[in-house]
Amino acid sequence: MATHPRIPPRRGARATSWWGKAWVRAVEEAAYDEPELKAARTLSRSGRIGAVTVDPGRFVASVEEGDDVLTVTGEVPVLDSDQQAAFVEAVAAESGRIGALVTGDLPHPLVEHAEEAGVELLPYGGELATRCSCEPWADPCHHALAVMYQLAWLVEGDPFVLLALRGIERDDLLARLHATAPSPARRGSDAEVLADARDRARRLLELLDDPDADLAALL
Going from the C-alpha of 7 to that of each of 11, 124, 151, 191, the distances in angstroms are 12, 25, 11, 49
Q: What is the mean pLDDT of residues 57-70?
A: 95
Give residue-wise pLDDT tens across range 164-201: 999 999 999 999 998 887 644 444 444 444 444 445 44
173 CB contacts (<8 Å, ≥6 apart)?
Answer: 88, 91, 98, 160, 163
Residue 218 pLDDT more than 60? Answer: no
How confident is residue 1, by pLDDT bands cut at 50, 70 and 90? confident
Q: What is the mean pLDDT of residues 78-97?
A: 95
Q: What is the pTM of this model?
A: 0.80
Residue 78: other Cβ atoms inside 10 A: 16
Q: What is the mean pLDDT of residues 26-47?
A: 94
Under 8 Å between Cβ of 86 and 114 = yes
How confident is residue 12, by pLDDT bands cut at 50, 70 and 90? confident
Domain boundaries, the chain: 2-180, 184-218
Q: What is the mean pLDDT of residues 76-99?
A: 95
Q: What whole-number distance in Å separates Cα of residue 138 and Cα of residue 134?
A: 11
How confident is residue 203, by pLDDT bands cut at 50, 70 and 90? low
Q: Between vectors from CA 67 to CA 65 and to CA 73, what angle results, nearest 5°?
A: 45
Residue 219 pLDDT more than 50? Answer: no
Give residue-wise pLDDT tens across range 123-158: 999 999 999 999 988 889 999 999 999 999 999 999
Q: Which of 30, 141, 160, 22 is nearest to 100 (CA)?
A: 160
